[in-house]
Amino acid sequence: MSNNLVANGVSTCAGCGLEIAIRCVLGVLGEKTIIVIPPGCAALFSGYGNSTALKIPGFQGNLENTAAYAAGIRAGLDIRGKEDITVLGFAGDGATVDIGLQSLSGMLERRERVLYICYDNEAYMNTGMQGSGSSPYSAWTTTTPGGKLTPKKDMLKIVEAHNIPYVASASIGYLNDLKKKVKTAKDVNGPAYIHIHTPCPTGWGFDASMTVEVARKAVETGLWTLYEIIEGQKKINIQISENINTLKYLKLQKRFKKVIKEDSTP
């Protein structure tokens, strides 16, 4: 695993779940990678002005077309005989489950050899915590001030319906599992999709030191399931106990404050 592709001291918020994800993903993929990043939290790694936080070539695209840019880059590289380079689309939930869904769906349907990773912090965090299709039911965001009235869009099921060779959910709370999945996805002959749960201390309202714990709680309480689908075969990676108490997860975060009574005990 290469550790030197992402600079130290990047300008993400303290305790950023996405930062953990991108370090881990690029560590596995290595330097023969080209990244496409839409505007959003991950764009911080594209850098500002003359400096970038990444040591690989990349392109900052638009919000809705990460998959189309990535597929085009793949086509250009293939024509030039550079088939050993991984093309990585790295987009947040807003750029994936909402505005970017069409171009992602097209790319998946066409079986383009692109690794698409969605880091899911469950809102439009870079613009100030507005709700996305991936925000969970009852979560507070600046555009769902009374709590979101509809459940989280199941993006993994949508991707699964495209019958691509590799689909996986992951979490920054389980890095070994994530690394294994990125390694598998890298060698897939066709599109691969990994959806990483990346808690956001700023948007969700928890202490910056708690990111990994919040991520693990989501999995332990069954609110985020770790699984992979290889050529249509689904495998659950982490089995959880039968005594699930979701309050253990919800009470760690201020965004669910309105729906949890103060005296509720986990």
Partner 1 sequence: MNKYTKSNKEMLDGNGAAAQAMKLARVSVIAAYPITPQSPIVEKLSTMVDKKEISCKYTCVESEHSALSYIIGAQLAGVRTGTATSSVGLALMHEVLGVASGCRLPIVMPVVNRALVSPWSLWCDHQDTMAERDSGWMQFYAENTQEVLDLMLMGYKIAEHCKVMLPLMVCMDGFFVSHSLQQVWLPSQESVDAFLPPYTPKNLFLDMNNPMLINNLIPPEEFTEMRYQQEIAFNNAIDIISSVQNEFNDIFHRDYDMVSTYRCDGAQAVIVSMGSSCGTVKHVVNKLRNNGIRVGAIKVTCFRPFPYKKLKAILKEIKCIGVLDRSAGLGAEFGPLCMEIKNLIGDDKCKVKNFITGLGGRDITEKIIEHIFYGLLDDQFSDKNWIDVQQDAMKIRKLNKKGGSV
CA distance 150 to 215: 22
CA distance 64 to 73: 16
How would you classify the pairing of strands 166-171 and 227-230?
antiparallel
Span of 7-15, 52-60, 131-139, 210-218 interacting with partner 1 by CB under 8 A = 52-60
CB of 131 to partner 1, least distance (A): 23
Site for partner 1 (CB under 8 A): which residue of 13, 20, 26, 56? Answer: 56
CB of 154 to partner 1, least distance (A): 21
* Nearer residue to partner 1 within complex by CB, 114 or 118: 114
* Nearer residue to partner 1 within complex by CB, 94 or 201: 94
78-137 binders of partner 1 (CB under 8 A): 78-80, 82, 85, 102-103, 105-106, 109-110, 112
By CB under 8 A, is residue 58 in contact with partner 1? yes
Site for partner 1 (CB under 8 A): which residue of 61, 173, 191, 203? Answer: 61
DSSP string, 172-200: TT-HHHHHHHHHHHHT-SS-EEEEEE---
Counts for the chain of helices (H) and strands (E), in that order: 10, 8
By CB under 8 A, is residue 18 in contact with partner 1? no
Q: Which residues of 25-57 are buried (b: 16+ CB within 10 A; e: fewer)?
A: bbbbbeeebbbbbbbbbbbbbbbeeeebbbebe
Please, which residues bridge with residue 206 across strands? Answer: none
* Nearer residue to partner 1 within complex by CB, 55 or 180: 55
User: Which residues touch 264 (CB under 8 Å, ≥6 apart)?
Assistant: 247, 251
Span of 77-85, 178-186, 209-217, 221-229 interacting with partner 1 by CB under 8 A = 77-85
20-49 binders of partner 1 (CB under 8 A): 31-32, 34, 36, 43, 46-49
CA distance 175 to 25: 10
Q: Judging by beta carbons within 10 Å of its beta carbon (0-12, 13-18, 19+), is residue 69 exposed, middle or buried?
A: buried
Site for partner 1 (CB under 8 A): which residue of 1, 14, 75, 208? Answer: 75
Long-range contacts of the stretch 72-78 (C-beta < 8 A, 24+):
73/34, 73/36, 74/112, 74/113, 74/114, 75/112, 77/34, 78/113
CB of 34 to partner 1, least distance (A): 5
CB of 145 to partner 1, least distance (A): 29
* Nearer residue to partner 1 within complex by CB, 66 or 169: 66
* Nearer residue to partner 1 within complex by CB, 61 or 133: 61
CB of 35 to partner 1, least distance (A): 8
CB of 16 to partner 1, least distance (A): 18
Residues that bind partner 1 (CB under 8 A): 31-32, 34, 36, 43, 46-49, 52, 54-62, 64-65, 67-80, 82, 85, 102-103, 105-106, 109-110, 112
